[in-house]
């Protein structure tokens, strides 16, 4: 078989390569009523104006990851960069403007341990509702101390981070245990964003977010009065994982949701309701376990008629799948085995009555020869979400390509390799 036969000869009628172009096709309607941050090509935190799309990058390699779509989140922690005025600095001194922060500005704070035999900690409360899952995060960088601990007294959850080997360990705070939901994201110039999850008690003081200097063994030790760590950009948000940084001053701040869609004549100009194939490429995001985040969704403006690539939350969102629903009746549904957060995912699916198939990274996911979908004309493409911005992916999409025909299986396979 020739090389030409292994790849589509049919030209796509819609080809959105967000990672390569770093622009939006003019047919896409994009909204987000607030400013929002993202990682630029240089690895630094940037701010996008309201209603401006964000093209996020890997902070270490500079690779463009594509269009960033996130749900609404609020930073419940005020003075996110003004740690010197947190009001609760126990056996620790905060000095502002001590080094270049992750946004490229000389505004990072240094926390310096006092020469006392005790814990050395900065903390600030946030107001939550009892039972809420919340996530605390902060950017940290080693100075004289090469360990740091963060945590919430509520639930007694915390972690210790070692800058030398980039390991997470026990915080060694009396009454605390190691959180079993946490993460580390590496940034340029020695910075890391570390985060943990806990369950809110509902009391703004008890739900304080705490940052400890650490001597490598414990948080309670005789300080020398000069050693410390650099910190910047603290955040507490309702949710099981961190989202892009939301700076605050004297009040909390909200980043509104990203919404991207194509509808009306901008949709009908390239869409064939009888048969088609779709290729998507994205990194596996952090996703919560209680809904089905969409890579894309094509529907009528109603969830009762939908077809999509989605993440299956049955194992904390570690599966990717494809589904077709007609008048609330599932016509086609397949999903993969588990993937890890950050995995590169290339998925291609074909849609034709009694002839569905899906492939991921060169492997068959599933087929179906009984489902139908063409009885209803779909009218809108949601990118990274579903109807009215529901089920957001909370991650990036690097490519969406639509072919107005049912491609042969070998071509679908090769698209995903």
Domains of the chain: which residue ranges? 3-72+257-415, 74-253
179, 42, 24, 37: which is closest to 104 by C-alpha? 42
* Token representation of residue 16: 């959105």
According to the model, what pLDDT value does residue 259 have? 98
The pLDDT value given to residue 185: 95
Left, alpha or beta for 77 (phi > 0: left; psi -120 to 50: alpha)? beta
Long-range CB pairs of 174-178, under 8 A, 24+ apart, other chains included: 174/220, 176/151
CATH number of 74-253: 2.60.120
Write the pLDDT tens digit of every residue in 290-327.
678 999 999 999 999 999 999 887 655 578 999 999 99
Q: Do domains 3-72+257-415 and 74-253 have the same CATH topology?
A: yes
If you classify domain 3-72+257-415 with CATH, what class do you get? Answer: mainly beta
Average pLDDT over the chain, rounded to an integer: 93
Would you state the structure tokens that stand for residue 292, as one six-digit string?
């089905």
Number of Cβ within 10 Å of residue 109's Cβ equals 26
- What is the tens place of the pLDDT at every residue in 252-299? 999 999 999 999 999 999 999 999 999 999 988 776 666 789 999 999
pTM for the full predicted model: 0.94
Q: What percent of the chain lies above the pLDDT cut of 70?
A: 96
- What's the rounded Cα separation, in Å, for the pair 145 and 219? 11
- In this prediction, residues 370-380 reach a mean pLDDT of 94
User: Could you read off the pLDDT of 107-129 as tens digits, one per residue?
Assistant: 999 999 999 999 999 999 888 88
Give dist(CA 202, CA 251) in Å, integer: 18
Q: Is the confidence at residue 249, as pLDDT, over 70?
A: yes
The closest alpha carbon to 321, from 313, 311, 331, 330, belongs to 311
Name which of 299, 369, 280 is nearest 18 in CA terms.
280
Phi, psi of 67 (to 5 degrees): -75, 125
Structure tokens at 260: 């991207």
Report CA dihedral (227, 229, 234, 239) to the nearest 10 degrees.
-110
Q: What is the pLDDT of residue 275?
A: 97
């Amino acid at each position: 078989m020739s090389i030409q036969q292994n790849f589509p000869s049919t030209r796509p009628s819609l080809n959105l390569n967000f990672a390569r172009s770093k622009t939006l096709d003019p047919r896409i309607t994009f909204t987000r009523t607030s400013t929002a941050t993202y990682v630029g090509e240089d690895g630094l935190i940037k701010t996008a104006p309201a209603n401006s799309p964000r093209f996020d990058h890997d902070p270490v390699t500079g690779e463009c990851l594509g269009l960033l779509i996130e749900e609404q989140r609020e930073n419940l922690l005020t003075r996110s960069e003004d740690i010197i005025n947190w009001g609760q600095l126990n056996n620790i001194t905060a000095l502002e403007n001590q080094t270049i922060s992750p946004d490229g500005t000389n505004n990072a704070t240094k926390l310096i341990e006092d020469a006392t035999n005790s814990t050395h900690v900065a903390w600030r409360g946030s107001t939550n509702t009892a039972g809420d899952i919340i996530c605390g995060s902060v950017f940290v960088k080693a100075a004289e101390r090469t360990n740091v601990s963060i945590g919430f007294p509520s639930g007694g959850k915390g972690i210790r981070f070692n800058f030398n080997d980039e390991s997470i360990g026990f915080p060694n705070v009396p009454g605390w245990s190691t959180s079993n939901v946490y993460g580390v994201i590496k940034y340029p110039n020695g910075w890391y964003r570390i985060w943990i999850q806990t369950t809110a008690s509902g009391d703004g003081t008890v739900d304080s977010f705490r940052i400890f200097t650490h001597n490598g063994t414990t948080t309670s030790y005789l300080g020398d009065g000069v050693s410390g760590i650099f910190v910047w950009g603290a955040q507490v948000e309702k949710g099981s994982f961190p989202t892009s940084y939301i700076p605050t001053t004297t009040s909390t701040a909200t980043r509104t949701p990203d919404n991207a869609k194509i509808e009306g004549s901008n949709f009908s100009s390239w869409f064939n309701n009888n048969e088609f194939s779709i290729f998507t490429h994205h990194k596996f995001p952090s996703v919560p376990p209680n809904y089905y985040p969409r890579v894309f969704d094509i529907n009528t403006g109603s969830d009762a008629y939908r077809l999509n690539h989605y993440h299956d939350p049955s194992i904390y969102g570690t599966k990717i799948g494809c589904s077709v629903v007609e008048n609330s009746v599932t016509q086609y549904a397949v999903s993969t085995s588990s993937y890890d957060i950050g995995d590169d995912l290339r998925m291609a699916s074909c849609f034709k009555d009694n002839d569905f198939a899906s492939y991921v990274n060169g492997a068959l996911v599933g087929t179906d020869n009984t489902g139908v979908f063409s009885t209803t004309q779909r009218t809108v493409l949601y990118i990274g979400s579903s109807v009215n911005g529901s089920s957001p992916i909370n991650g990036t999409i690097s490519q969406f390509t639509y072919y107005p025909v049912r491609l042969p299986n070998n071509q679908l396979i090769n698209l995903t390799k």
